[in-house]
Chain A
Amino acid sequence: MNEKKRGPLAHIVKRPAISMQQAFMIRALAILLAIVVCAIVTFLLTGDDPLSVFRTIWEGSFGSERRFWVLMQNLSILLIISLAMGPAFRMRFWNIGGEGQVMIGVLATASCMITLGGTLPGPVLIIVEIAAAIAAGAIWAAIPAFFKSRWNTNETLFTLMMNYVATQLVAYFIIIWESPRGSGKIGIINQKTMAGWLPQIGKYKYLLTVIVAVVLTIVLYIYMNYSKHGYELSVVGESERTARYVGIKVGRVFIRTMLLSGAICGLAGALMVAGTDHTMTTTLAGGRGFTAVMVAWMAKFNPVGMIFTSFLLAFLQKGAGEVATQFGLNQSFSDILSSIIIFFLIGCEFFIQYRIVFRKEAK
């Protein structure tokens, strides 16, 4: 009898290496596919032709000078938080506590502004509040790192829980400091004296945040690619055992890197409270701590790449928000669109790392 044993229809092979262009093409294709899916979804929901919807998205971000600056502000804050995530993820330390680290920075800044508002001269207060925010964020982030290095406590779950502790702390102090009494809000802090407010550069309210983001991007790019610390991070990320073998103190690297991550997150919190919002709410971070994880991951933890990925998400958020307003849809529309794009980008990584080989018909 002619018995033919057949292998599976398709199997997966790891690609040895892939050229930059090829990888870029795959990602571009994924984004294109994602946009097509988004267009279909948008068409089904609005009934309008997709092209005019995309024009609306564009207008929502670049339509006016004000919108452009709001986009820049959102982009910069998201970028700063994503930059903070980068180093820790490079060493495969899954810090998903960005939200909490930002919130604790927010709390530290706001408490300095409220309690020291009338007592310190302006510039001193600004230095104190920023230092407090950075320290608070750094400590908040270092706690899980300490337990991870000492007892190998699961950092993903630990940092996740720390988010809510920070948010509840903020909620607690909002009620303590609420003004006017009973409103459940803090209102604008130091509205008359403007004590502790970061200076505005010219007439651009958001320019300072943008500058900080650019500087941090450069600093982190150098830190991750050209410093000894950055090298150690990569080794730890590739293989903890190798790192131990070559004499890198892994625990110390964990704590040091998380101090850095937390400090940057705290700074982001300070920029939001003292720089632009001048108030404290429990939703000030607004899930950006989580979005930043995706931004950093999609950019493969490369600070320059993060500029593009955070732009993509900030742009979509703004633009889809505009679509929602124009077509009378819900603001959550933007969440749906951006997660569709993220799903595609997550999925396409597979095709960069592996290729599918189909069964050849055996003769």
Chain B
Amino acid sequence: MFDIVSFIPRAVAQATPLLLGSTGETLTEKSGNLNLGIPGIMYVGAISGVIGAFFYEQSVGSYENANAFLAIGIPLVCCLLGSALMGLLYCFLTVTLRANQNVTGLAMTTFGVGFGNFFGGSLIKLTGSDVPSIALSITHKFYAAKLPFAKSAGVFGKLVLNYGFLVYVAIVIALAASWFLNRTRQGLQLRAVGENPATADAAGINVGRYKYWATIIGSMIAGLGGLYYVMDYASGVWSNDAFGDRGWLAIALVIFTIWRPNVSILASLLFGGLYILYLYIPTGTNMAIKEIYKMAPFVVTIIVLIIISMRKKRENQPPAHLGLPYFREER
């Protein structure tokens, strides 16, 4: 029988990195920057957090000595800093130096994934462990800390309350981003920059500043997705390449939700669910079917992309200036 009570929490665990990644990317894309470096940024966010956590754990030694505030704060700050720097690099190249966004983004992904695996590998060597991974059990306990009564609160508790704090943070960020984009003046101006920077510029909006801020904040949010993956989902264990294709899945999710972070809360659950669905559907010995399930998110994203381009509803289109550079004198 399909066990929904155990399925949902696992789907949520898969969904959270995607939700954070897609919220960050949506914010970025609304400014007209198609940041294909997101997979790299999520790696950098994750490894920066891991490095912070690693040195913190080295300094305290045991769980009893650890301070909850520092154990959560240090990796968090490291993660935000690392991903913000990546966002800054992207903006410097694409906004200030007007480089091609696709090329810059792909280079960022190469760099970020390489950076993550390199420092992950170095830390593994530093610990001298036999298995190719680093286990950060102390900080993991703080990141995965749950409400004490969640388990005893029945099905509701198991499905809704029994997660680490980053899951709720992700949902709050998605809702906040949605509110920001649709209900605030800055959100409106940001969208104007993504749709038509020349008009926005003429209206006195500082195009460059909006692009910078949207991309850097977007990168920080996406970086959190990497942090959640290592610290909570993977039980504080970093192993190289474990994060996999999730960054690209996050970009797919942006399109699937038609650039709406609030829709992404449920859509990420769908994508995350498809990732693990094969565990819950009896397939016998046919393991191949799981690869088809993993393909499904990309196929439905393509279908959504085609449908929105066919229907031409204006509110469902990608930002009109997505992926294009803006130079005031080239109008």
Contact = CB atoms under 8 A, between A and B. Distances in A.
| Physical interaction between A and B | yes
B122 A158 contact: no
Given A165-B298, A336-B111, A336-B118, A154 B305 contact: yes
B36 interface: yes
A293 B118 contact: no
Interface of B: 34, 36, 89, 93, 96-100, 102-104, 106-111, 113-118, 120-122, 125, 240, 245, 248, 251-252, 255, 287-288, 291-292, 294-295, 298-299, 301-302, 305-306, 309-310, 312, 318, 322-323, 329
Interface stretch (A185-193, A225-233, A324-332): A324-332
A145 B305 CA distance: 13
Instruction: Please provide the 4 A-B residue pairs with the shortest distance between their CB atoms, ordered closest to farther.
Output: A335-B114, A330-B121, A339-B111, A168-B295
A336 B252 CA distance: 26
A158 B298 CA distance: 10
Contacts of B310: 151
A346 B93 contact: yes
Contacts of B255: 157, 161
Contact of B322 (A154, A168, A333, A343): A154
A46 to B, nearest CB: 11
A153 B96 CA distance: 28
A208 interface: no
Contacts of B89: 343
Contact of B117 (A14, A147, A152, A330): A330
A324 to B, nearest CB: 9
A154 B252 contact: no
B110 A338 contact: yes
Contact of B103 (A168, A293, A331, A338): A293
Given A151-B312, A168-B298, 20 more contacts: A94-B323, A147-B309, A154-B322, A165-B298, A168-B294, A169-B291, A169-B295, A287-B110, A332-B113, A332-B115, A332-B117, A332-B240, A335-B111, A336-B111, A346-B103, A346-B104, A346-B107, A347-B97, A347-B99, A350-B98
B288 A176 contact: yes
B87 to A, nearest CB: 14
A339 B110 contact: yes
B110 A161 contact: no
A274 interface: no
B interface, by DSSP: helix, strand, loop or mixed?
A: helix
Contacts of B318: 154, 157
Interface residues of A, number: 50
A161 B117 contact: no
A330 B122 contact: yes
Given A147-B306, A151-B309, A346-B93, A339 B288 contact: no
A333 B118 contact: yes
B295 A290 contact: no
A290 B112 CA distance: 14
Nearest to B294: A168
B99 A350 contact: yes
Interface string A152-175: 111011101111110011011101
A353 B310 CA distance: 37
Contacts, number: 147
B100 A346 contact: yes
Most-contacted residue by chain A among B104, B107, B108, B291 (CB, 10 A): B107
Contacts of B294: 168, 171
B107 A342 contact: yes
7 contacts: A160-B36, A162-B302, A164-B248, A165-B302, A168-B295, A176-B288, A330-B120
A297 B302 contact: no
B323 A156 contact: yes
Nearest to A175: B288
A339 B114 contact: yes
B98 A293 contact: no
B93 A161 contact: no
A153 B102 CA distance: 17
Given A96-B102, A294-B106, A161 B322 contact: no
A291 interface: yes
Contact of A335 (B96, B110, B120, B299): B110
B43 to A, nearest CB: 10
Contacts of B111: 335-336, 339-340, 343
A338 B114 CA distance: 10
A152 B309 contact: yes
A96 B312 CA distance: 24
A238 interface: no
A333 to B, nearest CB: 6
A48 interface: no
A291 B109 CA distance: 10
A334 B121 CA distance: 13
Contact of A347 (B93, B108, B291): B93
Nearest to A296: B103
Most-contacted residue by chain B among A96, A168, A343 (CB, 10 A): A168
A49 interface: no
B236 to A, nearest CB: 20
Given A154-B322, A329-B118, A339 B107 contact: yes
Interface string A14-40: 100000000000000000000000000
A60 to B, nearest CB: 17
A48 B292 CA distance: 48
Contacts of A151: 306, 309-310, 312
Nearest to A342: B107
Nearest to A289: B106
A221 to B, nearest CB: 22
A294 B103 contact: yes
Contacts of A334: 114
Nearest to B300: A161
A40 to B, nearest CB: 16
Contacts of B295: 164-165, 168-169, 172
B323 A336 contact: no
Contacts of A332: 113-118, 121, 240
B263 to A, nearest CB: 17
